[in-house]
A = this chain, B = another copy of it.
Amino acid sequence: MTPARGDHDARRTEVSRAVWEVLAERGFGGLTLRAVAQQMGATTGLLTHYFPSKRALLQHALEVLDAHSLDRPRPAAGRVGEATGLVMLRAVLLDILPLDPRGAASNRIWVGSWDVALADPELAAEHAQRYRRARERLTVHVRAAQEAGELPEAPAAEEVAAAAQSFVLGLVVQALFAPEEFTVERQVALVDAYLAGLAGESRAASAILGGHRSGGAE
């Protein structure tokens, strides 16, 4: 009977991709069913067939986009996957930044989503949870760095993680508005300087951060 459930879900993520593209270039104010449909060369009938409402459509697109960022940073060029402590912390932070067009697009979407989310309790709760989990993931790496002697024990790992997330989120915003001012190199340098400030006089840390003095994200 029902032909291929896999096709169904695949189509839904296809729709989500169209939603992302509309969001990235027109923002949430420009997100309409007709725009999404036109983006993927379909009609609004297709959209309503896979999603009961516009809200569900948006919600699913955000969930999928969030899920994509969960398995990052990818163990791509360097073997980031095996890294720990300060190196991993640095990799995760850099991975968030809009260092390439794709990162810029997804950050553009996240920043734009804050307005809608702050006006919608349910979306706000989901966002709050997203960032809390991101902080928890950062906390793990901070704690590892502390145990490795790369970071001081002084501020609790949770506080360091919250601070680091603040720093990166704000840097994302500024970089989106002034990309020519916040070049890739400057963004990386700012993160490294921030981490150096966290590390203080640690020899282990300065060895790590010194080695990456001009390194990129991938």
Contact = CB atoms under 8 A, between A and B. Distances in A.
Given A159-B193, A163-B194, A177 B131 contact: yes
Interface in A75-132: 108, 111-119, 124, 127-128, 131-132
Interface string A54-77: 000000000000000000000000
Interface on chain A toward B: helix, strand, loop, or mixed SS? helix
How many copies of this protein are present in the complex?
2
A217 interface: no
A-B complex: 9 closest residue pairs judged by Cβ atoms: A169-B170, A27-B119, A170-B170, A166-B170, A112-B115, A197-B197, A166-B171, A128-B177, A115-B115
Interface in A158-185: 159, 162-163, 165-174, 176-178, 181-182
Interface string A14-31: 000000000001111110
A190 interface: yes
A198 interface: yes
A27 B27 CA distance: 14
A63 to B, nearest CB: 17
A3 interface: no
A163 B159 contact: no
A178 B130 CA distance: 11
Interface residues of A, number: 48
A200 interface: yes
Nearest to A125: B177
A40 to B, nearest CB: 20
Contact of A29 (B28, B132, B155): B28
